[in-house]
Amino acid sequence: MTVKEFALHNGYKILSCVDRAEELEITGVYICDLLSMAMAKIDDGELWITVHTNLNIIAIASLTNASCIVIPEGIEVEENTINKAQEKEVVIVQASDRSYDICINFYRQKSGVTYD
């Protein structure tokens, strides 16, 4: 599933690099708000959920080859962070859901489970 498919299906908003969102496949999910832990652990293609919206998240996502950053709970993202994401070709997705539900939604969509 691509980042765009995931975002569209769940009503999440793509804040940067919509064109890239169409190409990038999500391979899994990683959740952590400690930047150096995320740096160590994010595997290529993973969707990274963090509540941080500062500029530094862009380098983390870019250097680890994350497929996108997902900001949960409708948290607003600063304009300078979005600009940097655009510059570094990092996709930021803003989700209204909590981290747990974002994971559940990913799992359901991936495995085709439709019950509610």
Q: Which residues bind ligand ATP (CB under 6 A)?
A: 35-36
Nearer to ligand ATP, 56 or 83 (CB): 56
The option from ligand ATP, other proteins, none interacting with 18 (CB < 5 to 8 A, set by class) reads none
Shortest CB 37 distance to ligand ATP, Å: 7
- The b-or-e profile of 85-106 (16+ CB within 10 A means b, else e) is bbeeebbbbbbebebeebbebb
**Cβ atoms 59, 42 nearer than 8 A:** no
The Cα 35–Cα 60 span in angstroms is 7
What is the number of the residue whose Cβ is closest to ligand ATP? Answer: 36
Q: Look up tokens 């169409």; give the residue.
A: 22
Q: Which among 7-15, 23-31, 54-62, 69-77 is the span making contact with other proteins, rule CB under 8 A? A: 54-62
Shortest CB 77 distance to other proteins, Å: 14
